[in-house]
Structure 1
Amino acid sequence: MVVANHSSHGDTAALLAALDARHAPLIGAAADYWFATPWRSRICRRLAAGFPVRRTGGGFDDLLGTADALRAGHAVVLFPEGTRGREGAVGDFRRGALLLAERAGVPVVPVGLAGTDRLLPKHGRLRRTHLRVHIGAPQYGPVTPAAARDAVRLLASRAAAAPLPDSRLRRRTAAVVASRCGLPLAFAWAFAEALSWPLMPELFLAVACVAAPRTGLRLTLTALAGSLAGGLLALQLAATGTHLPAPLTTDRMRAEVTRQLAHEGASAVSHQPWDGIPYKVYAAEAGRAHVPAPDWFLASAEARGSRTLTVGLAFAALGAVGRPWRRWYAGYLALLGGGFAVGLGVIVASWS
């Protein structure tokens, strides 16, 4: 016999997700609400294995009909408050569920739920949040309503206070990129990559936006601005004969970009990054080919803007969706770094 606090219609879904499916839980539902119309009745029976419990007379007789299921190993789930309570409060428990457990000779299992009142508030709309379900130890013998209520209330308070598992490295990374240093760092990284730095700004966004998804749009736009500013400077420097270091680039890359620019002008930058040639090579060769700065800026903004925005927002979405797995952030960085190193090595080797 499972008894839990009740503050939302989302409680049933959370319990069905958390309880052992081998016990095929049956959910007690208010007869005057969930079985008041045929379509509600079908939804309750088919999606939640619900059975009706009258709240005004005859309710205990309804519960007795599940005694054989209890003895056969099924779990029966009831909300002894009888109705949805206020946020964070657990109301008085009725005796029906506890008397049924005593007659069937099965233990009472208290469960505390947290977050369902935010998932689907009473008279509110469905919204995204995190749910926690804390399952307590079975209680044998006669269990009083007060004892069951205290056990459920304690579990619910623990569930509400329990932090999501997280990584210290992720927290530190998020603190840095969300601070006043975050936007200058994104700009400087992308600016430097357009001139000489060998690590593309998308790598920075993959690290930062996953750690702090809410800053994703700001970081992405700032990185794009840094990349375009660096590209313009690289163009001007190359046009005056200044040669900046370009690690992890090859003569074949420069020859291919020179050929593309001769045929397509500034729009040749649209081939980057699909051909694997760094943006700084395109910027420098465009300067040597005396591509007009306005043409270069517009072509770069179109090509790099779409790519950088897509990548940055995709990683921000990944960080938001992956919040329950934040504890594995260090492993994510290891995979990211390893994949980037392998990919970069393959690209450089193919253009050597």
Structure 2
Amino acid sequence: MRPTGQQLPRPELSRTTAAWLRRALWTVALTLTGGITRHGRLPRGGCVVVANHSSHADTAALLAALDARHAPLIGAAADYWFATPWRRRICRRLAAGFPVRRTGGGLEDLLGMAGALRAGRAVVLFPEGTRGGDGAVGDFRRGALLLAERAGVPVVPVGLAGTDRLLPKHGRLRRTHLRVHIGTPLYGPVPAPEARDAVRALTADAAAPLPDSRLRRRTAALVASRRGLPLAFAWAFAEALSWPLMPELFLAVACVAAPRAGLRLSLAALAGSLAGGLLALQLAASGAHLPAPLTTDRMRAEVTRELADEGAAAARHQPWDGIPYKVYAAEAGRAHVPAPDWLLASAEARGSRTLTVGLAFAALGALARPWRRRYPVYLGLLGGGFAVGLGIIVTSWR
């Protein structure tokens, strides 16, 4: 039974700080390689975590997902991770690993961790003993369960999915989203088949497809296809001439739906914006007047003043003052700003904003992967927020 009415010990502050740093390190690393999602939490106090094992990436996933307040310790094969000084340093510093012999004496190594468990730490073990090659959960050895029984702490089953695709056995690193499902603690003497079945069930749950939105899938398929880059280019090109909706709105829709396409969509939008700006400058210099909806005379007056004072360098104000790029491009043409100077200044100003916005929304899309089914809600909030913001900007420039 679960102990009640007692003060649960906590790890030392320095160990907890180190655990937070390791968790931050691996969270950032795994976010860059596809992201990680966690379901569930460890119970308070010490516990033995048992998980399936199919990849060296399992350790990184667990360190990123488990509560750092438990200062997790990872059992590692002594004959591999502690065979050389540099492996030993890597294992201890980056993974808080401790050696477990696989050729005799392993149970003694495990039982020696009972004190850490009583101090409130989590001890993470892979009871299969070695990495599986087919993703299936093999038979469990009893050592981890005996350790939990000896220390009087629960066994917490954990299922991992995606690590075998991220870093296959004898394979190379690939981008993959990882999922970690932390199960209900098991108290009392826990039979090995019961622990194995719990991990198997959690692994199957973790491997199930994430709920998704049909609208997001269709949007992602469009912008990630061969039509995505021309669409981003055309939207930004049209906005630099007359279209009232800024390319950042397109990027907010597209990059959240397809984060991996974020950089190339942002570059295409930047290229379209610069090309449209050059054309708008040439047309205005020749006396043409294109429609400019949602702009005001005060905007044009302000841009004219900036151009008179700074020349092409006035483009640096555009990302921050709310005045559309098409106003700057047209007024630069009427002021006869040289096209090369305008292109260089625009590339710096527009590039800083367009690329930053595109990559920021791509990062948001990657982090929000578990909530993809809410993509229509996101679009509704985005549209409403954009309309309100645009109204405020136009009103402020009247």
Bin of the TM-score, shorter chain as denominator length: 0.7 to 0.9
Cα distance per residue 1:213-253 (max 9 Å; x no partner): 22223322332333233334433443454433322222122
Code of the aligned partner of 2:250: F
Which secondary structure state, in structure 1, belongs to the residue aligned with residue 158 of structure 2?
Answer: strand
1:90 maps to which residue? 137
Provide the identity percentage: 88
Which secondary structure state, in structure 1, belongs to the residue aligned with residue 320 of structure 2?
Answer: coil
Describe the shift of the 1:234–1:99 C-alpha distance in structure 2 as closer, same or farther (beyond 3 A). closer
Could you tell which deviates more after superposition, 187-196 or 71-80?
71-80
Cα distance per residue 1:65-108 (max 9 Å; x no partner): 56688799876543222223325143443343455667778775
2:125 maps to which residue? 78
1:275 deviation in Å?
A: 3.2
> Does 1:60 find its partner at 2:117?
no
- Equivalent residue for 2:244, pick from 193, 198, 209: 198
Describe the shift of the 1:163–1:258 C-alpha distance in structure 2 as closer, same or farther (beyond 3 A). same
Describe the shift of the 1:74–1:311 C-alpha distance in structure 2 as closer, same or farther (beyond 3 A). closer
- Equivalent residue for 1:271, pick from 298, 309, 317: 317
Contact 2:239–2:245 (Cα < 8 Å) also in 1: yes
1:211 deviation in Å?
A: 1.8
Which secondary structure state, in structure 2, belongs to the residue aligned with residue 86 of structure 1?
Answer: coil
Cα distance per residue 1:171-227 (max 9 Å; x no partner): 232223223442333233222212222221122122212221222233223323332
Gaps of 5+ in 2: 1-47
Code of the aligned partner of 2:290: L
In the alignment, the residues of structure 2 paired with residue 62 and residue 4 of structure 1 have an alpha-carbon distance, to the nearest angstrom, of: 18
Code of the aligned partner of 2:202: L
Which secondary structure state, in structure 1, belongs to the residue aligned with residue 301 of structure 2?
Answer: helix
In the alignment, the residues of structure 1 paired with residue 224 and residue 294 of structure 2 have an alpha-carbon distance, to the nearest angstrom, of: 31
In the alignment, the residues of structure 2 paired with residue 328 and residue 270 of structure 1 have an alpha-carbon distance, to the nearest angstrom, of: 36
Contact 2:74–2:125 (Cα < 8 Å) also in 1: yes
> Does 1:284 find its partner at 2:330?
yes
In the alignment, the residues of structure 1 paired with residue 169 and residue 125 of structure 2 have an alpha-carbon distance, to the nearest angstrom, of: 18
1:55 deviation in Å?
A: 2.4
Correspondence list, 1:126-141, <5 A: 129-136=176-183
In the alignment, the residues of structure 2 paired with residue 46 and residue 214 of structure 1 have an alpha-carbon distance, to the nearest angstrom, of: 32
- Equivalent residue for 2:369, pick from 297, 304, 323: 323
Which secondary structure state, in structure 2, belongs to the residue aligned with residue 111 of structure 1?
Answer: strand
> Does 1:189 find its partner at 2:235?
yes
> Does 1:229 find its partner at 2:275?
yes
- Equivalent residue for 2:162, pick from 103, 108, 115: 115
Could you tell which deviates more after superposition, 228-237 or 67-76?
67-76
Correspondence list, 1:270-349, <5 A: 270-291=316-337, 293=339, 296-349=342-395
Code of the aligned partner of 1:206: A
Query: Once superposed, what is the RMSD of the aligned Cα atoms?
Result: 4.1
1:155 maps to which residue? 202
1:271 deviation in Å?
A: 3.1
In the alignment, the residues of structure 2 paired with residue 20 and residue 228 of structure 1 have an alpha-carbon distance, to the nearest angstrom, of: 47
Code of the aligned partner of 1:172: R
Code of the aligned partner of 1:152: V
2:30 maps to which residue? none
Code of the aligned partner of 2:107: F
1:296 deviation in Å?
A: 4.3
In the alignment, the residues of structure 1 paired with residue 210 and residue 95 of structure 2 have an alpha-carbon distance, to the nearest angstrom, of: 27
Describe the shift of the 1:167–1:289 C-alpha distance in structure 2 as closer, same or farther (beyond 3 A). same
In the alignment, the residues of structure 2 paired with residue 16 and residue 303 of structure 1 have an alpha-carbon distance, to the nearest angstrom, of: 41
In the alignment, the residues of structure 1 paired with residue 347 and residue 118 of structure 2 have an alpha-carbon distance, to the nearest angstrom, of: 69
Describe the shift of the 1:233–1:18 C-alpha distance in structure 2 as closer, same or farther (beyond 3 A). closer
Could you tell which deviates more after superposition, 287-296 or 268-277?
287-296
In the alignment, the residues of structure 2 paired with residue 289 and residue 187 of structure 1 have an alpha-carbon distance, to the nearest angstrom, of: 26
Gaps of 5+ in 1: none
1:19 deviation in Å?
A: 5.2
Cα distance per residue 1:233-292 (max 9 Å; x no partner): 433443454433322222122222233334444443343233332222223223434445
In the alignment, the residues of structure 2 paired with residue 50 and residue 290 of structure 1 have an alpha-carbon distance, to the nearest angstrom, of: 67
Which secondary structure state, in structure 2, belongs to the residue aligned with residue 272 of structure 1?
Answer: helix
Code of the aligned partner of 1:171: R
Which secondary structure state, in structure 1, belongs to the residue aligned with residue 160 of structure 2?
Answer: strand
Contact 2:319–2:349 (Cα < 8 Å) also in 1: no
- Equivalent residue for 1:175, pick from 204, 221, 240: 221
Tell me the TM-score normalized by structure 2. 0.69
> Does 1:8 find its partner at 2:25?
no
1:150 deviation in Å?
A: 4.8
